[in-house]
Copies of this chain bind each other. A is one copy, B any other.
Amino acid sequence: MSGLESTNAGMAERARFASRRVLTDAPFLAAANGRTPSHRPVWFMRQAGRSLPEYRKIRAGIGMLESCFDPALVSEITMQPVRRHGVDAAILFSDIVVPLKAAGIDLDIVAGTGPVVANPVRSIGDVAALPRLVPEEVGAVAEAVRLLTVELGSTPLIGFAGAPFTLASYLVEGGPSRNHERTKALMHSDPKTWHALLSTLADTTITFLQAQLHAGVDAVQLFDSWAGALSLAEYREFVLPHSERVFAEIQSAGVPRIHFGVGTGELLGAMGEAGADVVGVDWRIPLDVAARRVGPGKALQGNLDPSVLFAGPAAVEKQVRRIVSEADTAIASGTPGHIFNLGHGVLPDTDPGVLTAVVELVHSL
């Protein structure tokens, strides 16, 4: 391909995302892109959710999946923590299994349990029978994104999707799992079926993220929630190629790509290699240590232990200051940026006032 063709292709690609707002001054995007933000950006995984009384009120009597396919409700729920806490980014309210449900897989989210899949996927025949997601099936999600790009003003919107491995775990186990034994059994005993499954799920994730990108999200976060259950060798052989393809396929959108999983201390380097611009870190690893594992050129996001939010203002302040200091050490050694966040999602019993205070504290430092 000549340079000119390459440029033309790039222009055509960018034109597909022409509706995106220009938010270059947003601290969240500056930090993610390795520029110096006007203040340290902060948002919280699961900031839209059960910790907020206004969330519990608006969700009363409405099922989780029903909520995720109601554009006005998704928009309102996504906005709630932005209004209340003044966070530097919104994250689309959704659930890991939304694209699977949209594609027609028979599943539901059961309160107190999580996703329950009617027919677990454990054979090559099961994989072949999986329905493929077409963009129209997540039209409600795209519509929510369009509503939010208007509503949010200058606050960036982060798109949301589960990574192929985590989606696979739900499908193979039939629901949430503590040990993922059927999932691991499948990958080790029948790699061909495993890779077929993950390839199919990567297609689903790509379609879901592209729908969000075309509708105007300003960044994406790929959640590989359960990847921390794997050894590095398993991750490299059975997971990385598929997550890599997801990131590669959305690269042309030109927005920051965040990758996160809990308990991933051994995997941080590989998760960065998958194609992330920003690597999310849980609370087990100090950010300066994480920076050495992730390697150069990638910003970090994290990593306050959500349990510390229950320990009172003095403890919260001490830990926030420690994290900011460790992030600054990483930045001094070449890490391009830091987005303050928790090391996992907000716990339902969290006092939302504590979250607001964390935003104010991070902005003041």
Which residues of B are found within 8 Å of A233, using beta-carbon distances?
A: 286
Query: Once the chains are docked, how many angstroms separate the CA of A203 from the CA of B130?
Result: 56
Q: Count the copies.
A: 2
* CA of A344 to CA of B265, assembled, Å: 18
Asked if A305 CB lies within 8 Å of chain B CBs, one says yes
Enumerate A52-71 residues with CB–CB distance to B below 8 Å. none
The one of B179, B285, B349 that contacts A307, using a Cβ cutoff of 8 Å: B179
| Other contacts beyond A185-B311, A231-B285, A233-B286: 9, CB < 8 A | A181-B310, A185-B308, A185-B310, A185-B315, A188-B312, A188-B319, A228-B284, A231-B305, A265-B265
- Interface of A toward B, CB cutoff 8 Å: 179-189, 228, 230-233, 263, 265-266, 283-286, 305-308, 310-312, 314-315, 319, 344, 347, 349
A284 touches B231 (CB 8 A): yes
Q: Which of B179, B283, B286 contacts A306 (CB 8 A)?
A: B179
Given A188-B315, A263-B263, A266-B285 in contact, is the A182-B231 Cβ separation under 8 Å? no
Report 11 cross-chain contacts, Cβ distance below 8 Å, ordered by A residue: A181-B310, A181-B347, A183-B307, A184-B311, A185-B311, A189-B314, A230-B284, A231-B286, A231-B305, A232-B284, A263-B263
Contacts of A232 in B (CB 8 A): 284
Once the chains bind, are A179 and B347 in contact (CB under 8 Å)?
Answer: yes
State in angstroms the CA–CA spacing of A266 and B187 once bound together.
26
Cβ of A121 to closest chain B Cβ, rounded Å: 16
Contact B266 A311 (CB under 8 A): no
Which chain B residues border A344 with CB–CB below 8 Å?
179
Given contacts A179-B347, A286-B231, contact A184 B266 (CB under 8 A): no
How far apart sit A315 and B185, CA to CA, in the bound complex (Å)?
9
A205 to chain B, nearest CB (A): 24
For residue A230, which residues in chain B have a CB less than 8 angstroms away from its CB?
284
Determine how close the nearest CB of chain B comes to the CB of A282; give it in whole angstroms: 9
Residues on B with beta carbons closer than 8 Å to the beta carbon of A347: 179, 181
Given contacts A265-B266, A266-B265, contact A307 B189 (CB under 8 A): no
A310-B263 contact given A188-B319, A231-B284, A286-B231, CB 8 Å threshold: no
